[in-house]
Structure 1
Amino acid sequence: MTKYLGVHETLEAHEILTFKNVCLTKSHTMSGLAQDEELKALLAGDVEVNRAHIQQLQELLTKQEALS
């Protein structure tokens, strides 16, 4: 992987980060409203996956900003 992202790549990474934050919020909120245990388990798994993706994107963007 290259050390530097282009401006358009950085903007796209920010867009993905925003989308993942919305997904995390929605899954977390809906898991509290769901009554079906299987659905709750799926939503809980989605929350964990989204948290991991958000962390990876934040690390990528933080390292990018440190290199600038």
Structure 2
Amino acid sequence: MVAAVVALVAWALQLMQAANDRREFSLMLAGCMVCSAAVGLATVMVLTFTSPSFLPAVDAGISLDSIVLPWDGQL
């Protein structure tokens, strides 16, 4: 995953350099789109790795088993 993010950033930088050399605005937009894709992928990766399922279980003495939600139909 990290290699994919690095590859996307490198590709975006190459596109933006080519846009600067050729004076083409469309390549600059393509570079920005690739860079935003890299940022989105990195964000999803960080959110996935910091999710509660990756954290060690801590017994705080609070159970959520007794909570009944209105749409459960067990009122």
* TM surpasses 0.5: yes
* Gap regions ≥5 residues in structure 1: 1-15
With a CA cutoff of 8 Å and minimum separation of 6, indicate the structure with the bigger relative contact order. 1
Query: Which of 45, 50, 59 is the equivalent residue of 1:57?
Result: 45
Q: Structure 1 residues 52 and 67 mapped into 2: Cα distance closer, same or farther (>3 Å)?
A: farther
Matched position secondary structure for 2:55: helix
Aligned to 1:25: 10
RMSD, matched Cα: 2.2
* Gap regions ≥5 residues in structure 2: 58-75
Larger Rg: 2
Please report the TM-score for the alignment, with normalisation by the length of structure 1: 0.57
Q: Does 1:38 align with 2:26?
A: yes
Aligned to 1:8: none
Q: CA deviation at 1:49?
A: 1.7
Identical amino acids, percent of aligned pairs:
6
Q: Does 1:66 align with 2:51?
A: no
The 4+ residue runs of structure 1 with deviation greater than 4 A are: none
The count of residues paired between Structure 1 and Structure 2 equals 53
Q: CA deviation at 1:67?
A: 4.1
Q: CA deviation at 1:54?
A: 0.9
Please report the TM-score for the alignment, with normalisation by the length of structure 2: 0.53
